[in-house]
């Protein structure tokens, strides 16, 4: 892992902010993190170590609630690969107060959405409801997260569902490809493993392992409860106190944001998943920046100009000029201590050699010359508009504050984020492109090839 790292505290300091990070806040205290017109973001540290963060969004009739837990698939020993995700399923199967059917009936009756997702570094349980149903939403999400039974019979029933989810992933070439690419790039590091686990690990998972994982990992200091919508901070605190009652005791401090240094083997690997698909699906990329790296705003601009929209280099060269693919795009992932920049495309197998060649040529040009000023200006405009447009629903706003608190222990206002994008220069983008695209390439392919030798993709470094 060779990217330059700055600690979360350092990144916060660089922004010149005086508000303490969530895990350093005084227990019982409340701070205001953002105020912009009628919008207001506040955070309170409750006894027991739970952080509650809210955003009042004017003019909406809904609310989104999420409990973000700093637990994900990278926390699993290999013997219980997939435990975090399996557990996420299991928590909806019943609590001390509610059966699985009752949980489903209560949320359906108000037309709300109740769901969860598991990622490599966190798990989130959330609900989206009309504002008048906020008390129910907070009670339901809290009940599921804190008071699930993990009954042995439910472990067995849900095992079948998780195995079906793995089979479904196997039938989705893009999902399969993404998992294969992570393996190619990060090898046997926990970050390189699929969140879902394997058929073998799920088949062998015991109730004891799952329940132990639950009891050890689902603690308040690892959690952020986030709410956005037509809500008041005081009102949310009152509902949280009612839902969690005697659990809110003790002066435990929240855990600090996840940092670390992934020990990764060498890359430049090609992982092939042989499948009788109509299209050959290719993902190729390099290790990039961890999420604490201050250059992440520059990377976002690079990504947008490379393969973010219809006017990006990749879309224009691969689809518009040559009609080689329906889908082609680049994307960025950032973890606590590493990340990646990758390109996806899919086309009929007999055209993969040509498409991969065009992708490679685009990467080579960008590594050598960066982008024009016009391309960088457009990428910045695109990020600006996309950020503002993407924050119109309460779910996105809830995610922004909840995930941000978990990842950074800190809050960046929309204005501050826009300023960071605006400050990026074409030179910075070119310099970062040169550095990142000079790293060893890794690739994954899903398609009708028997051996990696049959795959018409070159993995020499692009800068050579």
Q: Hey, which residues are catalytic here?
A: 88
Least CB distance from residue 66 to a second copy, whole Å?
Answer: 16
Residue with tokens 């204005």, as numbered in its chain: 415
Nearer Cβ to a second copy, position 264 or 455?
455
Nearer Cβ to a second copy, position 156 or 361?
156
**Exposure of 324 by Cβ count < 10 A (0-12 exposed, 13-18 middle, 19+ buried)?**
buried
Least CB distance from residue 393 to a second copy, whole Å?
Answer: 6
CA angle at residue 430 from 300 to 265, to 5 degrees? 70
Nearer Cβ to a second copy, position 16 or 37?
37
- Whole-angstrom distance, CA of residue 130 vs CA of residue 65: 11
**DSSP code for 224:** E
Least CB distance from residue 287 to a second copy, whole Å?
Answer: 27
Least CB distance from residue 340 to a second copy, whole Å?
Answer: 23
**E strands in 46-112:** 51-56, 62-69
Alpha carbon distances (Å) from 284 to 103, 339, 412 = 42, 14, 31
Nearer Cβ to a second copy, position 283 or 286?
283
Nearer Cβ to a second copy, position 152 or 438?
152
- What strands lie across the sheet with 328-334, from one edge to the other? 270-274, 442-447, 280-287, 339-347, 328-334
Q: Which of 335, 363, 339, 342 is nearest to 271 (CA)?
A: 342
Tally DSSP H helices, then E strands, for the chain: 16, 12
Q: Are residues 262 and 74 in contact, defined by beta-carbon separation less than 8 angstroms?
A: no
**DSSP code for 23:** G
- Whole-angstrom distance, CA of residue 203 vs CA of residue 272: 25
- Whole-angstrom distance, CA of residue 117 vs CA of residue 122: 9
Nearer Cβ to a second copy, position 57 or 186?
57
Least CB distance from residue 280 to a second copy, whole Å?
Answer: 10
Least CB distance from residue 384 to a second copy, whole Å?
Answer: 5
- Here the tokens at position 72 are 């994900």
Least CB distance from residue 137 to a second copy, whole Å?
Answer: 11
With H, G, I as helix, E, B as strand and everything else as coil, classify residue 88. helix
Nearer Cβ to a second copy, position 164 or 251?
164
Q: Which of 249, 255, 335, 323 is nearest to 291 (CA)?
A: 335
Q: Which of 353, 345, 352 is nearest to 328 (CA)?
A: 345
With H, G, I as helix, E, B as strand and everything else as coil, classify residue 63. strand
The phi and psi torsions of 63 (rounded to 5 degrees) equal -145, 145
- Whole-angstrom distance, CA of residue 136 vs CA of residue 133: 5
Nearer Cβ to a second copy, position 242 or 322?
322
Least CB distance from residue 310 to a second copy, whole Å?
Answer: 4
Q: 100-109 long-range contacts, Cβ below 8 Å, gap at least 24? A: 100/154, 103/140, 103/143, 103/144, 106/136, 106/140, 107/136, 107/137, 107/140
Least CB distance from residue 407 to a second copy, whole Å?
Answer: 23
- Whole-angstrom distance, CA of residue 241 vs CA of residue 230: 19
Nearer Cβ to a second copy, position 6 or 327?
327
């Amino acid at each position: 892992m060779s990217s330059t790292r700055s600690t979360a505290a350092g990144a916060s300091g660089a922004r010149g902010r005086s508000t303490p990070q969530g895990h350093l806040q005084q227990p019982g205290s409340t701070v205001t993190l953002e105020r912009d017109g009628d919008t207001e973001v506040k955070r309170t540290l409750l006894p027991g170590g739970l952080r509650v963060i809210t955003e009042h969004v004017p003019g909406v009739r809904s609310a989104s609630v999420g409990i973000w837990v700093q637990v994900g698939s990278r926390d699993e020993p290999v013997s219980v690969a997939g435990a975090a995700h399996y557990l996420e399923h299991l928590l909806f199967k019943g609590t001390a107060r509610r059966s699985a059917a009752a949980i489903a009936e209560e949320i359906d009756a108000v037309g709300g959405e109740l769901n969860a997702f598991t990622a490599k570094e966190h798990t989130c349980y959330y609900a989206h409801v009309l504002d008048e149903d906020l008390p129910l939403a907070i009670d339901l999400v809290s009940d599921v997260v804190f008071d699930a039974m993990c009954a042995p019979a439910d472990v067995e029933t849900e095992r079948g569902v998780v195995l079906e989810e793995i089979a479904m992933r196997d039938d989705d070439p893009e999902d399969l490809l993404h998992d294969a690419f992570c393996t190619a790039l990060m090898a046997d590091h926990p970050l390189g493993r699929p969140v879902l686990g394997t058929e073998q690990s799920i088949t062998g998972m015991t109730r004891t392992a799952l329940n132990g994982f639950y009891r050890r990992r689902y603690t308040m200091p690892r959690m952020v409860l986030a709410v956005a919508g037509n809500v008041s901070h005081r009102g949310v605190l009152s509902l949280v106190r009612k839902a969690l009652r005697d659990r809110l005791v003790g002066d435990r401090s929240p855990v600090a944001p996840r940092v670390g240094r992934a020990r990764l083997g060498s890359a430049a690997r090609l992982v092939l998943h042989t499948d009788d698909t109509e299209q050959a699906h290719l993902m190729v990329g390099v290790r990039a920046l961890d999420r604490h790296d201050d250059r992440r705003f520059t990377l976002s601009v690079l990504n947008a100009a490379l393969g973010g929209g219809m006017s990006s280099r990749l879309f224009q060269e691969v689809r518009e000029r040559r009609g080689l693919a329906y889908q082609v795009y680049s994307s960025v992932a950032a973890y606590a201590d590493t990340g990646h920049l990758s390109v996806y495309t899919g086309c009929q197998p007999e055209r993969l050699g040509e498409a991969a060649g065009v992708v490679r040529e685009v990467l080579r040009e960008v590594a050598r010359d960066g982008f024009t000023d016009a391309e960088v200006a457009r990428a910045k405009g695109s990020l600006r508009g996309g950020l503002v447009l993407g924050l119109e629903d309460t779910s996105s706003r809830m995610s922004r504050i909840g995930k941000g608190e978990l990842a950074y222990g800190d809050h960046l206002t929309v204005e501050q984020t826009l300023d960071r994008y605006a400050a990026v220069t074409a030179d910075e983008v070119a310099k970062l492109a040169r550095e990142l695209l000079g790293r060893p390439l890794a690739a994954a392919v899903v398609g009708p090839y028997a051996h990696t030798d049959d795959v018409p993709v070159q993995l020499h470094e692009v800068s050579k």
